[in-house]
Amino acid sequence: MHLPDTLQSWVRVQVSGSPCGSSEIDQQSYVMTIDASGAAIQAGTAAGVRFGLATLLQLVRVSDRVLPCGVIEDWPAISRRGLMLDVSRDRVPTMRELCALIDTLAQFKCNHLQFYVEHTFAYAGHEDAWREWSAITPDEMRRLDAYAAVRGIEIAANQNCFGHLAHWLRLPAYEHLAETTGDWMFDVWPRSGPFSLCPTEPASLALVRDLIAQQARCVKGELFNIGCDEVYDIAYGRSKSEVERRGRVAVFAEFVRDVARAARDVGKRPMFWADVILTHADEPAHAHELVSLRELDMVALVWGYEPDTAFDVWVERVHKAGLEAWVCPGTSSWRAITGRTREREGNVAGALAAATKHNARGFLLCEWGDVGHWQQWPVAMHAIAQGIAAAWSGELAGGDASCKHARHVFGGNGPAIAAWLQELGDADVPLRDVAGGFSRKGLTKLRNASAMFASLHNSAGTVREIGHRELWRETLARLRELGTRFPACADALIADELRHTLGLSIFACERALLVLRTPSADIHHASATGDGDESVTFEVLRDWLDVFEANHRRLWLARSRSGGLEESCKHFATIKKMLEAK
């Protein structure tokens, strides 16, 4: 942790050494004394000193150069506190931004980081899979690993090794590895085409072994996240008969064990997303499958992104099976434009409660990029900072306290920016409570999306079916009122990103209101009738959408590489087609 030159002579540090048998949490503790002579930090390890210095820098930023005298005794509630950043759907940040992220995470005493990879790591011999995606190279990963290590953050390798591999499996060189190219069901949603590796195809494991070996060489940390989530299609394709004979979970667990052995063979401890096995582990026929992973000393990643996620039940189940559990809540910024404040805070609070109750070793906050990674960086970064800070304290700060961390992210006016983002993230809460139909028929409360985002990605017919014109009017009014209180931003890029976020949210409301007051036969001639902006027509909305796409492209390239941008912008074309449809 770097101290300003003006503070270095004023701070004294002492590493006393940890007693034999000290826990991971004890080894991260520190005592800081501040008096007229300066600040003294005493800790058993260099990590404890680093975390004490982080607290000191936080105090300096908020104290207006006058520090309070006293003694601080501090330690983490959870020993491993990390972030998983999606760099596959579809945004790969520049090296400058990734290093800046690591610096920010260090300020909040984060000590773990991983980048979610499907096809955005530059694997030798697999150039067709990543060539157009501005992939992270092995050299870049080694540099990031070293940069993070100096700041006390361990990077874990990450490669989804089972599902979510449609990009690979559509390519001629890999299509023979697909479980299916036909129709299947992703939970309750119809899907078609490749998604998962076929677990009964020997060449699937050969590919996975190669990918694991290549990425493992680039990071020094002990952990490798092998993924393996949401493999719904394995009951529909080439392994169908094996699933019918042995059961879906048994087929799943056997392949996961094989992948885990591949990670073990290169000296890494495997982590895996535990959703498939946890949702069936209470069935007598499958209870032993979770226990069977114990021999490989695997880490079960217990994930879910809503306030009602069953962290308590699932962590207890993992521990009873003899495995290590990490809780994995989300930032709720993806599929949302604005983020979802209420759901994020409820989700993180539930994860923290389960972790502290059951003494879970790790907390992994997930920042996904579903549907084009449209969320702007300030929306994500506010949620990341709040979540990582909570993982240290063990409690999610509420009210004004939830915004204090933002000074270390956005600068002097950070708390005002964070307070504004908190409100923005709940602008459509009343709609989220009734718009579940955007996700699936018969669902009341919308999950894993904001109503504004979901409406943009649904047809006019679905928007009319959902209805609730009055709630759309109220949401639009809240957004416009927030626009009158737009926070001052010292960083012009942050201000630009926030304006884009607000504008796109208003666009979603204007489109929904125009659809709701327009019979489908008159869609090309509709105009306002007292709802929303009087001048808005579908032609105007199409023009606005062109402006938002141009802004999206410009802001993307300010922080991210060009690869993935065209894929992200395909969603604008889809929305424009819906604006033109009758």
What confidence score (pLDDT) does residue 10 get?
84
Give CA–CA dist 9/3, Å, rounded: 10
CA atoms within 13 A on the CB side of 122: 15
What confidence score (pLDDT) does residue 301 get?
98
Give CA–CA dist 569/566, Å, rounded: 5
Superfamily of 5-74 according to CATH: Chitobiase/beta-hexosaminidase domain 2-like (3.30.379.10)
* CATH tag for 80-165+196-399 (out of 3.40.50.300, 3.20.20.30, 3.20.20.80, 3.40.50.280): 3.20.20.80
Judging by beta carbons within 10 Å of its beta carbon (0-12, 13-18, 19+), is residue 35 exposed, middle or buried?
exposed
Q: Which helix (H) or strand (E) holds 147?
A: helix 138-150
What confidence score (pLDDT) does residue 285 get?
57
64: amino acid identity, one letter: D
Judging by beta carbons within 10 Å of its beta carbon (0-12, 13-18, 19+), is residue 525 exposed, middle or buried?
exposed
Q: What is the pLDDT along the chain (582 residues), one digit of tens a residue?
A: 666 666 777 899 999 988 888 899 999 999 999 998 999 999 999 999 999 999 999 898 887 778 889 999 999 999 999 999 999 999 999 999 999 999 999 999 999 999 999 999 999 999 999 999 999 999 999 999 999 999 999 999 999 999 999 999 999 999 999 999 999 999 889 999 999 999 999 999 999 999 999 999 999 999 999 999 999 999 899 999 999 999 889 999 999 999 999 999 999 999 999 999 998 755 655 668 888 899 999 999 999 999 999 999 999 999 999 999 999 999 999 999 999 999 999 999 999 999 999 999 999 999 999 999 999 999 999 999 999 999 999 999 876 777 878 999 999 899 999 999 999 999 999 999 999 999 998 899 999 999 999 999 999 999 999 999 999 999 999 999 999 999 999 999 999 999 999 999 999 999 999 999 887 644 444 444 445 556 799 999 999 999 999 999 999 999 999 999 999 999 999 999 999 864
Give CA–CA dist 27/246, Å, rounded: 46
Contact 90, 562 (CB under 8 A): no
What confidence score (pLDDT) does residue 582 get?
45
Give CA–CA dist 106/384, Å, rounded: 12
DSSP 8-state code for residue 418:
H
Query: Cis omega before residue 90 (within 30°)?
Result: yes
Reduce the secondary structure of 58-107 to three states and give it as a string: HHHHHCCCCCCCEEEEECCCCCEEEEEEECCCCCCECHHHHHHHHHHHHH
Domain segments of the chain: what residues?
A: 5-74, 80-165+196-399, 427-580
Pair of tokens at residue 477? 């009014």
CA atoms within 13 A on the CB side of 352: 22
Of 71, 60, 61, 2, the C-alpha closest to 35 is 71
DSSP 8-state code for residue 247:
-
What confidence score (pLDDT) does residue 227 get?
98
Give CA–CA dist 581/512, Å, rounded: 14
Reduce the secondary structure of 458-504 to three states and give it as a string: CCHHHHHHHCCHHHHHHHHHHHHHHHHCCCCCCCHHHHHHHHHHHHH
Give CA–CA dist 309/328, Å, rounded: 10
Residue 71 φ/ψ, nearest 5 degrees? -125, 130
Pair of tokens at residue 2? 């770097």
Distant-in-sequence contacts of 172-175, Cβ < 8 A, 24+ apart: 173/128, 174/129, 174/207
Q: Which helix (H) or strand (E) holds 57?
A: helix 46-62
Give CA–CA dist 175/170, Å, rounded: 6
